[in-house]
């Protein structure tokens, strides 16, 4: 693998909607996270979805949908907070009026309506994930399994959008997350635009990899880069999709609301790469003038579900009695990291060697935590 040719563009994070508290009338409040899709639809069998959760001790006792004024066979999951409906047959071109009705504690009802427009050129249904996409997601699951995480759930909508974007990049010889309207295969300037047109209205993250020929190389290159690794590490089951065209790959991950602390490499993990060629954008080592382009494999500490910023007050990487020079990146250097920190060895690690990690973190509230663990390079 010619590492010098790898190009990782910045991790693109897109959110459908910030949390909004919507008051019941009368009764307890309801938190609505997202709803949709709305606007132009490029698929005739999308999933119409609203994500909600009651506040306090309230319970959602009924949740239904209507499409064009008619009740439909929608489903609601208390666990995920999703009320959703997918038509059994393709919808005809034209407007689709959707209404979601949520009943809280059998007495308070919240109602939300929106409109989507099925385009005349809409696909009848989502593409089946390609062999390369399925291989990519299999590698994603290998990496998650080594970290002690559940496998991702292959999502056809995310795979469809990922495939079309990778085709756009390959056909136009471009890189990154943005599309230009004059490009062949254009279907949305931003990731949010593209997802909404195919029916995904929740939070999602995209990693784009260029100049690697195989799905395995592409996925492993994305995972090695610390910013791009973060969506791989979300606890709990998450949806994901992949697409590959030529040497362009798009990986799109849904988000999980499940909290948890994830260490990567994980406790006692074996066969960890010893080195990393840094071609990531943004560059995690941009804060350090002495940092080279070939360093040790990055260590990631990610606390999902925490809102309070995380600061590393002490970090050590050792093998035997030898102390390894490291670079530490946390929220004090990059505000976007929040409850995440990177510990990056200044030089490649030795192969077949056990390393010990010590990281002490603190929060603004004064709470501190010490974590120690080991991993072994391959």
What is the DSSP code string of 253-321?
Answer: EE-----EEEEES-TTEEEE-SEEE--BSS-TTTT-TT--SEEEPPEEEEEET--S--EEEEEEEEETT
Give the model's pLDDT for residue 305: 86
Mean pLDDT value across residues 108-122: 94
What element of type H or E holds 249? strand 248-254
Kindly report the average pLDDT of the chain as a whole number: 90
Residue 23: band (very low, low, confident or very high) from pLDDT cuts 50, 70, 90: very low
Backbone phi and psi for residue 33, each to the nearest 5 degrees, phi listed first: -95, -40
| Residue 174 and residue 184 in contact, taking contact as beta carbons nearer than 8 Å | no
SS3 (DSSP) at 203: coil
pLDDT digits (tens, 9 = 90+) for 148-206: 999 999 999 999 999 999 999 999 999 889 999 999 999 999 999 999 999 998 989 99
Residue 8: band (very low, low, confident or very high) from pLDDT cuts 50, 70, 90: low
Does pLDDT of 15 surpass 50?
A: no
pLDDT digits (tens, 9 = 90+) for 310-320: 899 999 999 99
Q: How far apart are CA 122 and CA 15, in angstroms?
A: 24
More confident residue, 178 or 309: 178
Does pLDDT of 24 surpass 80?
A: no
Q: How far apart are CA 63 and CA 65, in angstroms?
A: 7
Does pLDDT of 5 surpass 80?
A: no
Does pLDDT of 127 surpass 80?
A: yes
Instruction: Give ∠ CA 37-40-45 in degrees, rounded to 5.
Output: 60
Does pLDDT of 242 surpass 70?
A: yes
What percent of the chain is modeled with pLDDT above 70? 93
Nearest to 185 by CA among 217, 219, 207, 161: 161
Q: How distant is the alpha carbon of residue 305 from its chain centre? A: 14
Give the model's pLDDT for residue 109: 85
Give the model's pLDDT for residue 3: 35
Tokens for 1? 């693998």
Query: Up-side HSE of residue 355: CA atoms within 13 Å toward CB?
Result: 34
Does pLDDT of 16 surpass 60?
A: no
Helical axes 131-146 vs 215-224, angle rounded to 10°: 40
Does pLDDT of 12 surpass 80?
A: no
Mean pLDDT value across residues 292-316: 93
What percent of the chain is modeled with pLDDT above 90? 76
Does pLDDT of 27 surpass 90?
A: no
pLDDT digits (tens, 9 = 90+) for 260-288: 999 999 999 999 999 999 989 889 999 99
Does pLDDT of 321 surpass 80?
A: yes
DSSP summary character for residue 19: -
């Amino acid at each position: 693998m010619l590492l010098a040719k790898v190009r990782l563009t910045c991790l693109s994070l897109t959110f459908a909607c910030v949390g909004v508290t919507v008051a019941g009338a009368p009764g307890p409040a309801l938190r609505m996270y997202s709803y949709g899709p709305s606007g132009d639809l490029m698929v005739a069998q999308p999933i119409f979805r609203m994500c909600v959760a009651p506040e306090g001790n309230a319970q959602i006792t009924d949740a239904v949908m209507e499409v064009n004024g008619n009740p439909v066979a929608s489903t609601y999951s208390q666990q995920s907070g999703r009320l959703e409906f997918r038509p059994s047959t393709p919808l005809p071109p034209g407007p689709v009026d959707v209404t979601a009705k949520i009943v809280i504690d059998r007495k308070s009802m919240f109602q939300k309506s929106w409109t989507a427009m099925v385009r005349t050129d809409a696909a009848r249904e989502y593409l089946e994930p390609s062999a390369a996409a399925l291989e990519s997601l299999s590698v994603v699951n290998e990496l998650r399994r080594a970290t002690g995480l559940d496998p991702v759930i292959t999502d056809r909508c995310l795979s469809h959008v990922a495939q079309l974007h990778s085709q756009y990049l390959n056909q136009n010889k471009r890189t990154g997350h943005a599309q230009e309207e004059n490009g062949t295969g254009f279907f949305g300037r931003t990731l949010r635009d593209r997802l909404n047109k195919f029916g995904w209205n929740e939070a999602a993250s995209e990693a784009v990899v260029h100049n690697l020929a195989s799905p395995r190389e592409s996925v492993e290159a994305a995972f090695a880069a610390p910013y791009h690794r973060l969506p791989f590490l979300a606890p709990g089951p998450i949806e994901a999709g992949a697409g590959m065209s030529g040497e362009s790959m798009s990986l799109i991950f849904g988000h999980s609301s499940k909290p948890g602390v994830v260490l990567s490499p994980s406790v006692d993990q074996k066969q960890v790469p010893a080195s990393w060629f840094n071609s990531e954008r943004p560059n995690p080592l941009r804060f350090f003038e002495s940092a080279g382009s070939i360093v040790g494999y990055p260590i990631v500490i990610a606390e999902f579900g925490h809102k309070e910023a995380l600061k590393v007050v002490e970090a050590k990487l050792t093998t035997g009695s030898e102390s390894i020079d490291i670079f530490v990146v946390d929220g004090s250097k990059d505000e976007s990291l929040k409850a995440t920190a990177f510990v990056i060895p200044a030089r490649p690690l030795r192969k077949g060697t056990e390393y010990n990690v010590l990281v002490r973190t603190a929060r603004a509230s004064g709470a501190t935590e010490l974590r120690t663990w080991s991993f072994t390079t391959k």
